[in-house]
Amino acid sequence: MRILVAGGGGFIGRHLVRSLLERGHEVITLGRSKPNLDELRDSPNLPHTHLVSDLSEPVQLRVDSIYNFASPASPLQHKKDPIQTIQSNVMGTWNLLNLAADLQVPFFQASTAEIYGSPSVSPQPESYQGSSDTFGERASYVESKRLAETLCSEFNYVHNVPIRVARIFSTYGPGMPLGNGRVIGNFISQALSGRPITIYGDGEDLRSFLFIDDLVTGIVRMMESKESRVGPVNLGSGEVVSLYKLGEKIIDLTNSSSELTFHPSSSSSAKALVPDITLARDLLAWEPRVGLDEGLTVTIQNFLRSPGNP
């Protein structure tokens, strides 16, 4: 199959692209930055091409399926350029859905657990409508992701586009960016450099973290479905940890001298962002296989082996 992965240069996109290539597919990536596929450098003839685009214009390609990961993912990026975040999530999704409608091919939308906002129920099932602030500091990301889901639903209804929508919870693993505003990346970066580990709030906020290989498996299973509409489906881990315990784990696994420090948290920070993955189990026969301790160990070791890192 010939597959388009928009946003293939991002953390999740790169892992998905490698998986698709290894499965024998031809992959076209599209984005402002070319994916770094160093792990495949020993197989230079793999069918991969990259097109430079910010998705502000319509896309014209012949492909058999489309995956949309074309969105800034870092909280620091959202804060720096919120308009670009909205454009990517709304106009980018619009242009890709129009391509899917023209070709009548399956479309995968990478949505986010953050559309649940600061939830009043935990764990969060897909039926929970969320609690968000249109004027909040993360509104550019959260509200544009919500609208992207609506676009998918309406293109399915009006144009019969086969859609798959995954609400992705915090994901980590080898190759993740460190120190970009995401919790695990920040904690590992701080621990390896011996700096204080920064926790916003009292450390009792609860999170779940999904290893990247488990996420890719879930994504592929969604796309392999023969149904016209799949989702929204939560893809996340049911293993829950407080931010305090996470910081302690990372200090221990890195043998770091760092200490935990506590700072005031944002009023929009969720106290417990944890998925109910019952639907994913029932619909996709999917659940995570990699535990947090194992996944963190692999992630830290990979980072230490990377050139230029301590």
Whole-angstrom distance, CA of residue 256 vs CA of residue 196: 10
Give the count of beta carbons closer than 10 Å to the beta carbon of residue 135.
6
Amino acid at 185: G
Which is nearest to 235 in space by CA: 263, 272, 292, 274? 274
First to last CA, the chain: 40
Look up 141 and say whether it is catalytic.
Answer: yes
Residue tagged active-site, from 67, 116, 141, 172: 141
The DSSP element (H or E) to which 80 belongs, if any, is helix 75-80
Question: Which helix (H) or strand (E) covers residue 250, if one does?
Answer: helix 243-254
Mind giving me the DSSP string for 36-49?
--GGGTT-TTS-EE
User: Please, are residues 6 and 55 in contact by the beta-carbon 8 Å criterion?
Assistant: yes
Please identify every residue annotated as catalytic.
141
